[in-house]
């Protein structure tokens, strides 16, 4: 029965009241008296030597305060990278310098060269045109394989080549994997591209820097998914500001999808300039700038092979992947194609031997980092396309080949050959469920109906596994992370019983203010309306690592549970004192403390009031007040999984693909707010199907970004999709966090691309075109038509 | 983008050759050209106003003649910077061949754009470059063949595509 509050209730999102009535307060809504405006001058060429910058004419223009160049940042640190990957030979990755403003060279279109700060934005933009920058264009390298040739231009002179690292995982398994391939009854090989994407959150990035000269206090308002991480990276590594003199605030943030995790040059710039000029400095990205300066996603080129025995059991898997880093290492870029990708290559299967090779490559393109799913969509896409291709080569059903090779429900916890241990899951259940909700049984009839209309109908299936709830700090430390990945919460109970929860997580569309309150309400038994969630300000929230990787409920929510348990324990002691009973006999239910087996009770407010008005209170043994902080460091990742089914119609004349139906059966463990979960899945599906059919970030051979606006970068719209069927009734709770939750934010974007492509290939094969083994995403009408007419 | 084409001009090769080295002739032939100054040896400095799709800009840049084999072939190359609009560069390898009717010009054109032009206008660059090249040689042909004086076009903007007037406000905002 649906609940009307607490865990499991589809409580409407309280934050939507302000978002839908225009009362959200975003970074661009923050205007500080006396602020100046920054306009970044960015490189038009992908690779070039800066011969000279003459800003004298610009500085004489009306309203111009100062023009900054790299010279102003002498002595300032570069933008740091937060993860150091060690390669297959035990060598650490090549890590280039990343100056705040380009110093001597530009390395991608959009690389910031100079910044004009003026009284108004218009004056800054006008003056930017008067800054004379003389650049000698150098040959650019865009293609990853070309970048690794000995005669390739080097993106960074100080490095030995454009190879960031050559990673092998698990290196010790390589020989055994190769041997298994030699013995295989069948080998399926697939080469594919995971297309580069632009995150395009609805709100472009904004940064406002402020400085108080009398106290030395800096404040940065920024569109960030993790203000504490920005404070640490920027404070310690770029500008050398101690944490107590740097406050970072990420207020309402209009979507991130990964692109707002990273520390960007613009944040360091406004913070630095606010002090240099002793006045606030504001920068607001235009959409065009977002295309040039936000970290982009995906961009893998892969060859993957599956070995099978005579009974169609998977015996080994190996991959060769080239992963584009772009021109510089964005904050978490090195970890994405390695630890967030290689460790997922077992997928839902019992493949005993796996070897993953990833070469990360520098090119003269915009940096690449995590984008919704981050490494896991790349892994899932390869694997699920490969299994589909194997089934077609062997003449067996892709559904049955999957079922046969799935990890069985009684095999959990399951140790994969790629390090991770899946705690729980039931892939057979999600497969059955997705076939049921997609009405697979009725597919042939629908295909016949499509055929009668001259359309080719296809059914595509994909399963995924992801690793969320990142992550055990000691483990990621061994893997090269330069940060811990715990989460934090402070629960402040007020005198009259209301509660303010300060979380280190950050909500930028996830609905934390609603779902986190539901957790605390459930634990104490009071109305969620009595509980507020505060996030996004380093001055009042405990040090937390922020929101990405579907981690917030699993890690941040667990910290809230821990802190709330401390509150309950203390409250029980107070109640025991008030009720003159033993603490062990006190029970908390529905916001009331009762002495077990009696009718003696005190309500929640009676206890909280006693804590703050401690007249009748055991002051000799207990402090007054009711406020607790907890840090939670997970002991494992969480492993959401699911089965996705896509049904398409392909128009044989034009190659246009229409999504007729899309069904998702996910296992997210326990669910706190089913409505929010459904919304997360729907949004993920939209982005995943967008990647599969429409979105593509394109560069020409000179490194010019060709898809630099929504005219050329096709963002999906509501009318590109049917209504999705989303189900999360199959759930195997996570065994190692107190909520039993797994995370749902990225699943849709991970599982959907292979389901779409598998459906299109199915449609073509059913029409007799079994020669078309693969089409690279996005499956635009032109690509599908070209494949059909090759 | 690359394209090759040819064009027959009713004038002897010597006349055509002399014309292509003449800055006034270049000015007349380059669509949207406002001025050309300089010499064959040092290169020409040109100001060209052009509109590529949504991007209209005044490009200032150098035009150079190289690989000169008198009377036979040369390479015209140019690079123009359009401020916030980005840049365009391109070149044409031109061969001169005597034919009974006069001179046959064969040319291979290559064009590249960068910055905002690439980000916003890449879809239409190929068509635009072809149109520019055709127009250049058309105007050059007219200028050489006469009898009419080489016209300075009344509207220096060669429209990449017909853009209604009311759209300009939007385009301006986009580039601001």
Chain A positions touching B120 (Cβ under 8 A) are: 288, 708-709, 711-712
* Cβ–Cβ gap B86/A291 under 8 Å: no
Q: Is the pLDDT of residue B131 over 90?
A: no
Tell me the average pLDDT across A171-189: 97
Residue B147's pLDDT band, with cuts at 50, 70 and 90, is low
* Cβ–Cβ gap B113/A704 under 8 Å: yes
Q: Is the peptide bond before A273 cis (omega within 30 degrees of 0)?
A: no
Chain A positions touching B122 (Cβ under 8 A) are: 698, 700, 704, 706-707, 712
Residue A92, sorted as left (phi over 0), alpha (psi -120 to 50) or beta, turns out to be: beta
d(C-alpha A649, C-alpha A659), whole Å: 7
Tell me the average pLDDT across A547-571: 97
Is residue A181, in this structure, part of any structural domain at all? no
Write out the residue range of the structural domain in which residue A498 sits. Answer: 486-632
- Asked whether residue A223 falls in the same domain as residue A114, the answer is yes
CA distances (Å), origin A21, targets A45, A205, A676, B64: 42, 22, 19, 59
Is residue B37, in this structure, part of any structural domain at all? yes
* Cβ–Cβ gap A708/B120 under 8 Å: yes
Q: What is the pLDDT of residue B41?
A: 86
Please report the residues numbered 61 through 100 in chain B whose beta carbons come closer than 8 angstroms to any beta carbon of chain A.
83-84, 86-87
% of chain A beyond a pLDDT of 90 = 99
Give the residue among B93, B73, B136, B64 at the shortest CA–CA distance from B4: B93
Q: What is the pLDDT of residue B81?
A: 85
Task: Inform me whether the C-beta atom of residue B35 falls under 8 Å from chain A C-beta atoms.
Answer: no
- Asked whether residue A613 falls in the same domain as residue A690, the answer is no
* Cβ–Cβ gap A708/B86 under 8 Å: no
Is residue B156, in this structure, part of any structural domain at all? no
Domain count across chain B: 1
Q: Is the pLDDT of residue A18 over 50?
A: yes
- Asked whether residue A372 falls in the same domain as residue A410, the answer is yes
- Asked whether residue A93 falls in the same domain as residue A47, the answer is yes
Q: What is the pLDDT of residue B173?
A: 44
* Cβ–Cβ gap A712/B123 under 8 Å: yes
pLDDT tens digits, one per residue of A613-659: 999 999 999 999 999 999 999 999 999 999 999 999 999 999 999 99
Q: Do A746 and A684 form a contact (C-beta atoms < 8 A)?
A: yes
- Asked whether residue A554 falls in the same domain as residue A516, the answer is yes
- Asked whether residue A622 falls in the same domain as residue A679, the answer is no
Helical ranges in A252-355 per DSSP H: 265-277, 287-293
Q: Is the pLDDT of residue B104 over 80?
A: yes
Among all residues of chain B, which has the CA nearest to that of A137?
Answer: B114
Is residue A159, in this structure, part of any structural domain at all? no
- Asked whether residue A613 falls in the same domain as residue A533, the answer is yes
- Asked whether residue A343 falls in the same domain as residue A410, the answer is yes
% of chain B beyond a pLDDT of 70 = 82
Is residue B173, in this structure, part of any structural domain at all? no
Of A293, A314, A347, the domain-final residue: A293
d(C-alpha B173, C-alpha B164), whole Å: 15
Write out the residue range of the structural domain in which residue B100 sits. Answer: 2-146
- Asked whether residue A227 falls in the same domain as residue A82, the answer is yes
d(C-alpha B57, C-alpha A766), whole Å: 52
Q: What is the pLDDT of residue B85?
A: 84
Of the candidates A45, A288, A292, the beta carbon closest to that of B114 is on: A45
Domain count across chain A: 3
HSE-up of residue A676 (Cα within 13 Å, Cβ side): 28
d(C-alpha A147, C-alpha A155), whole Å: 9
Stretch among A145-159, A192-206, B11-25, B119-133 having the lowest mean pLDDT: B119-133
Tell me the average pLDDT across A499-518: 96
Task: Say what the pTM is.
Answer: 0.93
Q: Do A639 and A416 form a contact (C-beta atoms < 8 A)?
A: no
Among all residues of chain B, which has the CA nearest to that of A710?
Answer: B120
Give one DSSP letter per residue of A210-255, joined into a string. EEETTTTEEEEEE--S-HHHHHHIIIIIII---GGGEEEE--B---
Among all residues of chain A, which has the CA nearest to that of B83?
Answer: A129
Chain B positions touching A708 (Cβ under 8 A) are: 116, 118-120
Is residue B56, in this structure, part of any structural domain at all? yes
Chain A positions touching B118 (Cβ under 8 A) are: 109, 700, 704-706, 708
Interface of A with B (CB under 8 A): 44-45, 109, 122, 125, 128-129, 288, 291-292, 698, 700, 702, 704-709, 711-712
- Asked whether residue A400 falls in the same domain as residue A532, the answer is no
Chain B positions touching A109 (Cβ under 8 A) are: 114-115, 118-119
Q: What is the pLDDT of residue B146?
A: 76
Among all residues of chain A, which has the CA nearest to that of B88?
Answer: A44
pLDDT tens digits, one per residue of B152-169: 544 444 444 444 444 444
Is residue B112, in this structure, part of any structural domain at all? yes
Chain A positions touching B129 (Cβ under 8 A) are: none
Is residue B53, in this structure, part of any structural domain at all? yes
CATH code at position A619: 3.30.365.10
Give the 3-state DSSP-derived string for A570-628, with helices as H, strands as E and coil as C. HHHHHHHHHCCCCHHHEEEECCEEEECCCCCEEEHHHHHHHHHCCCCCCCCCCCCCCEE
Q: Is the pLDDT of residue B2 over 90?
A: no
pLDDT tens digits, one per residue of A89-140: 999 999 999 999 999 999 999 999 999 999 999 999 999 999 999 999 999 9
Chain B positions touching A292 (Cβ under 8 A) are: 119
Compare B173 and A212 and report the one with higher pLDDT. A212
- Asked whether residue A627 falls in the same domain as residue A678, the answer is no
* Cβ–Cβ gap A702/B114 under 8 Å: yes
Task: Say how far residue A444 (Cα) sits from the centre of its chain.
Answer: 38
CATH code at position B35: 3.30.530.20
Mean pLDDT, chain A, as a whole number? Answer: 97
Chain A positions touching B86 (Cβ under 8 A) are: 44
Is residue B32, in this structure, part of any structural domain at all? yes
Give the residue among A269, A218, A264 at the shortest CA–CA distance from A244: A218
Q: What is the pLDDT of residue A153?
A: 97
């Amino acid at each position: 029965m649906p609940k009307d509050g607490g865990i499991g209730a589809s409580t409407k999102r309280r934050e939507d009241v302000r978002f839908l009535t225009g009362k959200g307060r975003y970074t661009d809504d923050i205007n500080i008296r006396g602020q100046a405006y920054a306009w970044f001058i960015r490189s038009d060429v992908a690779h070039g030597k800066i011969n000279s910058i003459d800003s004298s004419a610009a500085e004489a223009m009306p309203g111009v305060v100062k023009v900054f160049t790299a010279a102003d940042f002498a002595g300032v640190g570069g933008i740091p990278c937060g993860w150091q990957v060690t390669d297959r030979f035990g060598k650490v990755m090549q890590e280039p310098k990343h100056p705040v403003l380009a110093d001597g060279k530009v390395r991608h279109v959009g690389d910031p060269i100079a910044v004009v700060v003026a009284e108004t934005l218009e004056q800054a933009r006008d003056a930017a045109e008067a800054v004379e920058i003389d650049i000698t264009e150098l040959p650019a390298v865009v293609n990853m394989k070309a970048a690794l040739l000995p005669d390739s231009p080097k993106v960074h002179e100080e490095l030995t080549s454009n190879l960031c690292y050559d990673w092998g995982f698990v290196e010790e398994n390589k020989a055994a994997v190769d041997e298994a391939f030699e013995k295989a009854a069948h080998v399926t090989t697939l080469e594919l591209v995971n297309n580069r994407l632009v995150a395009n959150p609805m709100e472009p990035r904004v940064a406002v820097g402020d400085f108080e000269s009398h106290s030395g206090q800096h404040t940065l308002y920024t569109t960030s998914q993790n203000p504490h991480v920005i404070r640490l990276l920027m404070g310690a590594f770029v500008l050398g500001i101690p944490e107590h003199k740097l406050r970072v605030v990420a207020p309402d943030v209009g979507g991130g999808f990964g692109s707002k995790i990273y520390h960007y040059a613009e944040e360091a710039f406004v913070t630095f300039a606010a002090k240099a000029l002793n006045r606030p400095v504001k920068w607001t990205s235009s959409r065009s700038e977002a295309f040039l300066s936000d970290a982009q996603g995906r961009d893998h080129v892969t060859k993957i092979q599956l070995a099978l025995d005579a009974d169609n059991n998977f015996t080994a898997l190996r991959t060769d992947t080239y992963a584009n880093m772009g021109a510089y290492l964005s904050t978490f870029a090195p970890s994405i194609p390695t630890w967030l990708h290689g460790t997922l290559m077992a997928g839902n299967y019992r493949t005993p031997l796996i070897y993953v090779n990833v070469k990360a490559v520098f090119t003269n393109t915009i940096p690449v980092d995590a984008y919704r799913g981050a490494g896991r969509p790349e892994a899932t896409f390869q694997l699920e396309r490969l299994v589909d291709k194997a089934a077609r080569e062997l003449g067996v059903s892709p559904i049955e080949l999957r079922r046969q090779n799935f990890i069985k429900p009684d095999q959990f916890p399951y140790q994969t050959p790629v390090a991770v241990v899946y705690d729980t899951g039931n892939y057979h259940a999600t497969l059955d469920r997705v076939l049921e909700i997609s009405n697979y049984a009725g597919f042939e009839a629908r295909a016949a109906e499509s055929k009668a209309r001259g359309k080719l109908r296809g059914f595509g299936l994909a399963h995924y596994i992801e690793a969320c709830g990142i992550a055990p700090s000691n483990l990621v430390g061994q893997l090269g992370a330069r940060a811990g990945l715990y989460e934090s919460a402070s629960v402040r109970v007020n005198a009259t019983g209301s509660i303010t929860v300060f979380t280190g997580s950050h909500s930028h569309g996830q609905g934390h203010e609603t779902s986190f309150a539901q957790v605390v309400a459930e634990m104490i038994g009071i109305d969620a309306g009595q509980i507020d969630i505060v996030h996004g300000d380093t001055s009042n929230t405990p040090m937390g690592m922020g929101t990405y990787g579907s981690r917030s409920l699993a890690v941040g929510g667990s910290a809230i549970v821990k802190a709330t348990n401390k509150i309950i324990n203390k409250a029980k002691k107070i109640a025991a004192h008030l009720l003159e009973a033993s603490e062990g006999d006190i029970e908390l239910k529905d916001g009331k403390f009762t002495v077990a087996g009696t009718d003696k009770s005190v309500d929640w407010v009676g206890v909280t009031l006693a804590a703050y008005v401690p007249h009748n209170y055991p002051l000799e043994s207990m402090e007054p007040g009711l406020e607790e902080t907890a840090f939670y460091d997970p002991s494992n990742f969480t492993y959401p999984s699911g089965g996705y089914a896509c049904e398409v119609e392909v128009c044989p004349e034009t190659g246009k693909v229409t999504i007729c139906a899309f069904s998702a059966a996910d296992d997210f463990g326990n669910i706190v707010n089913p409505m929010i979960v459904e919304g997360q899945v729907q949004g993920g599906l939209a982005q995943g199907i967008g990647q599969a059919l429409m979105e593509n970030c394109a560069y020409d051979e000179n490194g010019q970004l060709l898809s630099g606006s929504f005219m050329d970068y096709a963002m999906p719209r509501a009318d590109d999709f049917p209504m999705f069927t989303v189900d999360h009734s199959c759930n195997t709770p996570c065994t190692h966090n107190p909520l039993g939750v797994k995370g749902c934010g990225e699943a849709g974007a991970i599982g959907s691309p292979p389901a779409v492509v598998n459906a299109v290939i199915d449609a073509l094969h059913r029409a007799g075109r079994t020669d078309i083994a693969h089409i690279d995403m996005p499956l635009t009408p032109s690509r599908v038509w070209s494949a059909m007419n090759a | 983008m690359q394209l090759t084409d040819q064009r027959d001009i009713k004038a002897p090769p010597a006349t055509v050759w002399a014309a292509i080295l003449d800055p006034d002739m270049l000015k007349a032939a380059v669509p949207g050209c406002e001025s050309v100054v300089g010499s064959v040896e040092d290169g020409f400095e040109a100001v060209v106003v052009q509109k590529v799709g949504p991007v209209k800009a005044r490009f200032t840049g150098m035009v150079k003649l190289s690989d000169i084999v008198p009377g036979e072939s040369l390479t015209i190359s140019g690079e123009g910077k359009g401020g916030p609009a980005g840049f365009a560069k391109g070149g044409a390898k031109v061969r001169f061949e005597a034919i009974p009717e006069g001179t046959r010009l064969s040319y291979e054109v290559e064009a590249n754009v960068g910055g905002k032009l690439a980000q916003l206008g890449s879809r239409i660059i190929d068509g635009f470059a072809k149109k520019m090249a055709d127009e250049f040689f058309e105007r050059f042909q007219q200028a050489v063949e006469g009898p009419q004086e080489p016209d300075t076009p009344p509207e220096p903007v060669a429209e990449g595509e017909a853009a209604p007037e009311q759209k300009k406000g939007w385009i301006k905002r986009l580039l601001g």
